[in-house]
């Protein structure tokens, strides 16, 4: 087994990858968010039409995924801040699992609240 494979199979690498991919996905969502805000500026009727359109099941699923991505990016960012400013200990590796679990829990709580 080469070192490159072992490095990419480490939980910290997966946390890094999730943080980067969630940030990329959120940046791709941003133009749609600005478009929706622009509709709100066009008047109440246009915004109501957009809100009615967002009631579709596929868009509800996308909304759940958005919250999950936000939670994943937030917990990944908090992990990075902890790495930067706190002394590193072996037990902190379990924080990776807690961060992933917290992100999933937030996404699930949002999905159940719909």
* Each residue's pLDDT tens digit, 37-79: 888 888 888 889 888 998 999 999 999 999 999 998 998 898 8
Q: Is the pLDDT of residue 1 over 60?
A: no
Which token pair is 57? 């099941």
Which token pair is 106? 């937030």
Give the mean pLDDT of the chain.
84
Percent of the chain whose pLDDT exceeds 90: 25
Q: Is the pLDDT of residue 84 over 70?
A: yes
Please state which CATH number belongs to domain 3-113: 1.20.1300.10
Cβ within 8 Å of residue 26, ≥6 positions away = 66, 69, 70, 73
Q: How is the chain split into domains, by residue range?
A: 3-113
Which one has a higher pLDDT value, 100 or 25?
A: 25
């Amino acid at each position: 087994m080469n070192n490159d494979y072992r490095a990419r199979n480490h939980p910290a690498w997966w946390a890094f990858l999730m943080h980067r991919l969630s940030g990329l996905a959120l940046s791709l969502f941003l133009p749609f968010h600005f478009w929706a805000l622009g509709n709100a500026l066009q008047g109440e009727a246009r915004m109501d039409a957009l809100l009615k359109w967002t009631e579709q099941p596929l868009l509800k699923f996308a909304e759940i995924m958005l919250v999950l991505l936000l939670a994943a990016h937030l917990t990944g960012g908090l992990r990075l801040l902890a790495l930067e400013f706190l002394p590193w200990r072996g037990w902190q590796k379990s924080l990776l699992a807690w961060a992933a679990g917290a992100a999933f829990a937030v996404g699930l709580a949002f999905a159940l609240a719909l």
